[in-house]
Amino acid sequence: MTENNLLRHFDVLIIGSGLAGQSLALRLADKHRVALVTKKTLEDSASAWAQGGIAAVLDPADSVEAHLADTFTAGAGLCDPLATRFVIERSRSAIEWLIERGVPFTQDDSPFGFHLTREGGHSQRRIIHATDATGSAVQQTLTEQIRHHPRISVFERHIAVDLITAGKLGLTPDRCLGAYILDIDRDEVLTFGASHTVLATGGAGKVYLYTTNPDTATGDGIAMAWRVGCRVANMEFIQFHPTCLFHPHAKSFLISEALRGEGGILRLPDGTRFMPAHDARAELAPRDIVARAIDFEMKRHGLDCVFLDMTHKPAAFLIEHFPTIHARCLDLGIDITRQPIPVVPAAHYACGGVVTDLAARTDLPGLYAAGETTFTGLHGANRLASNSLLECAVFAAAAAEDIQATSHAPLPPLPHWDESRVTDADEEIVIAHNWEELRRFMWDYVGIVRTNKRLERAEHRLDLLKKEIGEYYANFRISNDLIELRNLVQTADLIVKSAQRRHESRGLHFSRDYPETLPRALETVLHPFQD
């Protein structure tokens, strides 16, 4: 391929195809040439896996203040008041935009016209949903429109390698100019120039051995932003979803929070209910409390899993409200109308990430970020259920508004990717071994319950991995697996550094060495050129 064919120019480059990336693309495409880059296909994202729904103030009986209070309670003192109010006040308009786009939310005869459910940590029914496959319904609706939009160029099976900045080219002032993108099938690195670049790459669940996330959740946006000088905050707060299906053939299948919202009971194998002994809210306590309770009971009794019991509910109700979960469990020989569901906690959501403002701008001009890859201040020390898709939708709208109001800076000539000094990898098994080692020690040492000694062990292993992967990256041609491993190791390092700095237990971060919560809540902000 000629050098000219390796160059692409767009007004806006969006890296990631979940709800944040897709809704931003659609909001911009009428007036901008948009590139949407995704590692697999448009349908492969954590957004598409979301079951429960989207939290929003829609019912006349609900209020912004009530939603704020619930979010603050879950966030354990670390939610930013301005950011939280910004998101919740815009929740209804975000939902109305999705409805206008044709998302088939479940309807009923309520004042708003749509069925609202309740999840753990919420004082009201405010979760709008499409049965128990909300993310999939949203994604399918937007994907169809993305594929047919003449001003959106979709690049599937393409993965971002690194961001291009003026500073790296010796130019001032520094700003983001685009990114180097690997075409996975052709094994070629393309140069994408753009006046505005948006990271919508999702979370980093694959840094852990057990996760509810898709394979694409490798911390790419967080690592890339860090490498170009952006601050990262609150990475110690990794949400472990309490109820991932425990079955050898059920890879990363989530059992929605909504089941507990509709009366699900957590039991030990002998049928004993245990949540009331851990929290007065029992099964409706916030996720961090439920996850720690399950972890405690599993360790205390030497269990592989606990059980979520819905058998006291009518079979017709379960099949109507949870058809996806019912069908998937039935495929695996579990009839949820007659049998309790075996569940375990699993890494689910990163509450920290790249620091952004209320316009989704990062520290680097020209670079935006939206969705799970960010730290906006909304989630605090623990995300309230179903606030994640809401954050994606609201900040996609905010980014679109800012980009539309910003002039397009002319781009300087951009250099092509240089691989003249590297060779083909001789032993790619090294990548697989490092990947397995990373995910296992992160699970063992930086999981639901942490100690200073465990974090030190993780830090030591990460130092060795960073050196080994750095040498590998410098000497061999890049591949999808190498890019993801490099990003995972960087993200894991940020998680460990953040956890070591928090000398208390708060929200999702629980330390046996510091079991008390300090009277003042402070964010953990890491600076690339200082930490």
Active-site residue, from 8, 118, 287, 439: 287
Residue in this structure with the two tokens 């690194």, named with its chain if needed: 162
Distances (CA, A) of 482 to 161, 363, 429: 10, 27, 11
* Range 52-82 burial, b when 16+ CB lie within 10 A, else e: bbbbbbbbeebeeebbbebbbbbbbbbbbee
Distances (CA, A) of 141 to 117, 340, 479, 514: 21, 33, 32, 46
Q: Tokens for 414? A: 């951009």
Instruction: Name the E strands within 125-246.
Output: 127-128, 152-155, 158-165, 176-183, 188-199, 232-233, 238-245
Is 287 considered catalytic here? Answer: yes
- Report the C-alpha gap between 283 and 259 in whole angstroms: 10
Contact 361, 192 (CB under 8 A): no
Count the alpha carbons within 13 Å of 43 in the hemisphere toward its beta carbon: 5
Q: What is the 3-state secondary structure (H, E, C) of 465-492?
A: HHHHHHHHHHHECCCHHHHHHHHHHHHH
Q: Tokens for 218? A: 């490798």
Nearest of 13, 428, 397, 380 to residue 221 by alpha carbon: 13
Report, as residue numbers or ranges, the catalytic residues. 287
